[in-house]
Amino acid sequence: MKKHNFSAGPCILPQEVFEKASQAVLDFNDSGLSILEISHRSDAFVSVIEEARSLVLELLGLQNKGYQALFLHGGASMQFLMVAYNLLQKKAAYTNTGTWSSKAIKEAKMFGEVAEVASSKDKNFNYIPKDYQIPEGIDYFHCTSNNTIYGTQMKSFPKTTAPLVCDMSSDILSRTLDFSQFDLIYAGAQKNMGPAGVTVAIVKEDILGKVERQIPSMMDYKVHIDKDSMFNTPSVFAIYTSLLNLRWLKNKGGISGIEAQNDAKAKLLYTEIDRNPLFKGFAEKEDRSTMNPTFNLTEGTDKASFDKLWKEANINGINGHRSVGGYRASMYNALPLESVQTLVDVMQHFEKIS
């Protein structure tokens, strides 16, 4: 029986994507070859990566606006380094809203001065800082849109004359935004877009070429743009599966279509968290993530009994990160509302028997 998968990543994908990807492993497009063995230089795969890159821009509304979509290696963790390599000449500004932004700051400090303009570390990252000042004369401003571990999400983004860089690993393609306000967006695919093994970077070309240092070829966005994401052998299967997921999302009405479903899921779960006396939300209400609700049991509540109930209900992946404890129910695009209802039913049953 298929489980209700609330895993934070690698995440749930649509059933039709699993089915089409598995068929391609056996026989890709009736070619007599598996997707795992076709040449990345073949016309068949070139058409896959070209469509995937084009669909990313189409779904974000960034076609013909000077952006390039790249499929790269190394996850968002490599992007922490790559962003600074390409953009940081003297000074950059960062907000620190959790584990991943802390790691991004650490990498950037290797290349220049980093101003940490705001942090929510004082309350274990359970809120998004606001009303901070972004200094003038910086090379770029970096933020993290959604914090998977702590369950917080930026609802708006600051105005800045510097290039705006955003790590959207855990909420990309999940909500409507004016994506043209960003100059560089990056995301590991495994949170909401595809399988582990590939990273997407959406880069506005005119922000590149400003640093004086030599950039190694594998770290240089311009090299990857010039080579159409084919500078080295790409992650063929991961990109193909991401393409299937992008097609699925387009057929669902694009980002605006899936956003309505994501909002409904979040409302259902957060309403129960706030109503049920046995649970308490971790993140500040105004900063709650649509993708990664985090919550704890109230003091004195029997954790073992609750854990037994949700496991018996075929629920997977809701244990909280060790930094927060409690529970985390990641509700990415492909998670059906029925799975959230199952979790809510368990929470309500737990209340009745406690």
Tell which residue, 212, 188, 226, 211, has the closest CA to residue 72. Answer: 188
Residue 48, pLDDT score: 98
pLDDT value of residue 107: 98
Q: What pLDDT is attached to residue 222?
A: 98
Tell me how far apart the alpha carbons of residues 141 and 183 are, in angstroms, rounded to a whole number: 10
What is the spatial distance between Cα 38 and Cα 45, in angstroms, rounded to a whole number?
A: 8
d(CA 250, CA 230) in angstroms, rounded, equals 25
Under a CB-based contact definition with an 8 Å cutoff, are residues 201 and 52 in contact?
no
In the numeric block, which tokens belong to residue 29?
Answer: 């497009």
Q: Specify the DSSP element, H or E, that contains 264.
A: helix 254-275
Q: How far apart are CA 347 and CA 272, in angstroms?
A: 8
What is the pLDDT at residue 1? 73
For domain 15-251, give its CATH number from 3.30.565.10, 1.10.760.10, 3.40.640.10, 3.40.50.300.
3.40.640.10
Give the per-residue pLDDT at 119: 98
pLDDT, position 323: 86
With 90 as the cut, is the pLDDT of residue 2 above it?
A: no
Span(s) in the chain for CATH 3.90.1150.10: 255-353
What is the spatial distance between Cα 197 and Cα 73, in angstroms, rounded to a whole number? Answer: 7
Q: Return all residues near 25 (Cβ < 8 A) that are at least 6 apart.
A: 34, 35, 36, 237
Mean pLDDT of the 303-325 span: 96
Average pLDDT, rounded, for the chain: 97
pLDDT band at 4 (very low <50, low <70, confident <90, very high): very high
Active site residues: 100, 167, 191
Token pair, residue 254, equals 């694009």
User: CATH for 255-353, among 3.90.1150.10, 1.10.1780.10, 3.10.310.30, 3.40.50.11260?
Assistant: 3.90.1150.10
244-253 tens-digit pLDDT: 999 999 999 9
Query: Could you report the per-residue pLDDT of 123-175, keeping only the tens digit for each?
Result: 999 999 999 999 999 999 999 999 999 999 999 999 999 999 999 999 999 99
pLDDT digits (tens, 9 = 90+) for 31-83: 999 999 999 999 999 999 999 999 999 999 999 999 999 999 999 999 999 99
Domain with CATH 3.40.640.10 in the chain: 15-251
Of residues 130, 98, 100, 103, the one with CA closest to residue 117: 130
**288 - beta bridge partners?**
152
- pLDDT, position 290: 98
